A = this chain, B = another copy of it.
Amino acid sequence: MRSNGTMDRRARDTARVTISDLSRALSLTKGTVSRALNGYPDISEATRNRVIRAAQAMGYRPLSQAQAIKTGRSCSLGLVVELSQYDAHRPFLAEFLAGLTQAASAEGWTLTIATSESETDTIRIMRDLVRDRKADGFILQRVLWEDPRIAYLERENVPFICYGRPKNREKVSYFDVVSEAAMADAITWLARLGHVRIGYIGSAPDYAYSHARRDGYRAGLAAEGLTYDARLVVEGALSPDHAAQATRQLLALETPPTAILCATDTLARGVYEVANTLGLKIGSELSVVGYDGAPEGQAMWPRLATFAVDNRQAGARLGAMFIARMQDPEAPATQGVIRATFTPGGSTGRPTLTSDQLARHLANLAAVTA
Q: Which residues in A have some Cβ–Cβ distance to B below 8 Å?
A: 1-2, 4-5, 8-9, 12-13, 15-16, 61, 63-66, 68-69, 72, 74, 76, 81, 83, 88-91, 93-95, 97-98, 101-102, 105, 110-115, 125, 129-134, 157, 240, 266, 269, 272-273, 276, 295-301, 329-330
- For A130, the chain B residues whose CB sits under 8 A away are 12
Contact B299 A297 (CB under 8 A): yes
Q: How far is the CA of A2 from the CA of B330 in the complex (A)?
A: 8
- For A88, the chain B residues whose CB sits under 8 A away are 94-95, 98
Contact B89 A295 (CB under 8 A): yes
Q: How far is the CA of A273 from the CA of B114 in the complex (A)?
A: 38
- Name the residue of chain B whose CB is nearest to the CB of A4: B157
Q: How far is the CA of A90 from the CA of B301 in the complex (A)?
A: 20
- For A74, the chain B residues whose CB sits under 8 A away are 65
Q: How far is the CA of A141 from the CA of B133 in the complex (A)?
A: 28
Partner pick for A65 among B61, B65, B300, B330, CB 8 A cutoff: B65
Partner pick for A101 among B1, B113, B297, B329, CB 8 A cutoff: B113
Give 19 new A-B contacts, CB below 8 A, not counting A90-B91, A296-B296. Answer: A5-B157, A5-B329, A8-B157, A63-B69, A64-B132, A65-B74, A81-B98, A89-B91, A91-B93, A93-B93, A97-B113, A97-B115, A98-B115, A101-B114, A102-B115, A105-B114, A266-B295, A295-B296, A299-B299
- For A297, the chain B residues whose CB sits under 8 A away are 299
- Name the residue of chain B whose CB is nearest to the CB of A130: B12
Contact B269 A299 (CB under 8 A): yes
Main secondary structure of the interface of A (DSSP, over half): helix
Contact B69 A65 (CB under 8 A): yes
With A300-B301, A301-B272 already in contact, the answer to whether A13 and B105 are too (CB < 8 A) is no
The 6 closest A-B pairs by CB, nearest first: A91-B91, A65-B65, A296-B299, A299-B299, A98-B115, A65-B68
Q: How far is the CA of A112 from the CA of B299 in the complex (A)?
A: 32
Contact B295 A132 (CB under 8 A): no
With A1-B330, A13-B72, A269-B299 already in contact, the answer to whether A94 and B110 are too (CB < 8 A) is no
Partner pick for A134 among B91, B98, B110, CB 8 A cutoff: B110
- For A110, the chain B residues whose CB sits under 8 A away are 112, 114, 129, 134
Contact B9 A132 (CB under 8 A): no
- Name the residue of chain B whose CB is nearest to the CB of A5: B329
CB distance from A260 to the nearest CB of B (A): 16
Contact B111 A112 (CB under 8 A): yes
Q: How far is the CA of A298 from the CA of B64 in the complex (A)?
A: 45
- For A133, the chain B residues whose CB sits under 8 A away are 63, 65
Contact B83 A98 (CB under 8 A): yes
- For A269, the chain B residues whose CB sits under 8 A away are 298-299
- For A81, the chain B residues whose CB sits under 8 A away are 94, 97-98
Could you write out 9 A-B pairs with CB less than 8 Å apart? A5-B157, A8-B157, A69-B69, A76-B112, A97-B113, A110-B134, A112-B112, A273-B301, A300-B301
- For A9, the chain B residues whose CB sits under 8 A away are 72
Q: How far is the CA of A298 from the CA of B115 in the complex (A)?
A: 25
Contact B93 A94 (CB under 8 A): yes
CB distance from A155 to the nearest CB of B (A): 11
Q: How far is the CA of A8 from the CA of B111 in the complex (A)?
A: 23
CB distance from A173 to the nearest CB of B (A): 16
- For A273, the chain B residues whose CB sits under 8 A away are 301
- For A105, the chain B residues whose CB sits under 8 A away are 114, 125
With A63-B69, A65-B68, A299-B299 already in contact, the answer to whether A131 and B98 are too (CB < 8 A) is no
